[in-house]
Amino acid sequence: MQRIASFAVNHDKLEKGLYVSRIDGDVVTYDVRMKKPNAGDYLANPALHTLEHLLATYLRNTEWKDAVVYVGPMGCRTGFYVLMRDTVSRRLAIQLLKDSFAFVADFTGVIPGSTRIECGNYLEHDLEGAKAVARDMMAVLRNWSEEDLVYAE
């Protein structure tokens, strides 16, 4: 079997940030890396779950909602994949993720889609944990540019 592209990335050199993972036709996969891989600090499941609900809700409520294909966590719990159509420029994708984390950091109220009827694990959420990750990522992405979207060699 062929090795998939995400396994070809040297995770020992990977830092927190935002990267273009791959491009498939008109879909760009963004690697939203929230934790340094293999460093012993991973996204806790309840915070990860809340981030999933809030990031997806935010991105799918922007004017670019039709370009958002997928928002979901990585199994290794170090980040998320966000897939967008290439109608969203790289610069705009960076801004959308910055805005998404600001939304999470400032969120108050009931987590969207968090009732028993709406969610398959509705009891496992952590808004304060999600907000802490969002604040950290706001700092990481503060000066992020299109040049930073490339994985380190």
* pLDDT value for 6: 75
Give yes or no for a contact between 125 and 116, defined as CB atoms under 8 angstroms apart: no
Of 149, 153, 108, the C-alpha closest to 19 is 149
What single-letter amino acid sits at 21?
Answer: S
| Cβ neighbours for 64, distance < 8 A, ≥ 6 positions apart | 84, 87, 88, 92, 96
* pLDDT value for 7: 77
- One pLDDT digit (tens) per residue for the chain, 153 residues: 887 777 777 888 899 999 999 999 999 999 999 999 999 999 999 999 999 999 999 999 999 999 999 999 999 999 999 999 999 999 999 999 999 999 999 999 999 999 999 999 999 999 999 999 999 999 999 999 999 999 987
* pLDDT value for 3: 78
Give yes or no for a contact between 78 and 87, defined as CB atoms under 8 angstroms apart: no
CA gap 84, 21 in Å, rounded = 12
Give yes or no for a contact between 46 and 125, defined as CB atoms under 8 angstroms apart: yes
